[in-house]
Amino acid sequence: MLSLHGQKGMSLVEMLVSLIAGLVVVAGAISLFSTVIVSGNTTLMLSRLNQDIQAVTDIIARDIQRAGHHPSAAEDIANGVSLASSTAALYMFSTSNDLYPAPASGASSTCIRVKYWDNDTPSGASSLVRIYGYDSVNKRLSVDTSYSAPVSSALTASDCASGDLLISDAEVLVDNLEFEVVSGSNPTGARALNIRMTASNAQKNNLSMSLERSVRIRNDGY
């Protein structure tokens, strides 16, 4: 028969020490799990932000590449019609008129206008004029589309302030947007523009990304 004499249970102090040690281990595990979750969410947010910036610059770049396109251009060239006298002249991209502020002012251009002929416009018209404007105060990027004949007048601040949001400001804040004519590009031939964009997550402003890309104006000077 076993004797219980001399056997003791855990004291209160030992139980408290064991309990505290267990809580420390659990707290460490919870902290590690939380860190992994936060890191995963941050990665997803940055990935989504990168996709949004890429999508926006892709849209703008496609329009810039189409700027100046007009079906009569080739025919005018064949007939010896000068660019200034051609119907397509109004669609040609002008750094002094289609960027605001104009590069000659020394300020960064935050607004651009592209004009081209499009047979697939929803209105049935073929002339398309699109203005992308950036509001640095509210960190918003807007786009205004019209199907009227293009004008040769210079862009103004009011032209750049109208239009619909290109990207929701509830998700993405556009911290900076600039259009720059590539240095050394030929002003009378094919030119290129640099697009610089910086954006941040609307809920977490410390999560931001920047993107720069160069876009060639394909139809510049025909």
What does the domain layout of the chain look like in residue ranges?
A: 43-216
pLDDT in tens, 20-66: 877 788 777 777 767 766 666 788 888 889 999 999 999 999 999 98
**Rounded CA gap, 47 and 201, in Å?**
11
163 closest CA partner among 138, 137, 134, 189: 134
Contacts 24+ apart (CB under 8 A), 41-44: 42/207
Burial (CB count within 10 angstroms: exposed 0-12, middle 13-18, buried 19+), residue 103: middle
Mind listing the pLDDT tens digit for each residue in 128-164?
Answer: 999 999 999 989 999 999 988 888 899 999 999 989 9
> What mean pLDDT is predicted for residues 85-110?
84
Q: How big is the chain by its Cα radius of gyration, in Å?
A: 30
C-beta neighbour count of 28 within 10 angstroms = 10
pTM: 0.77
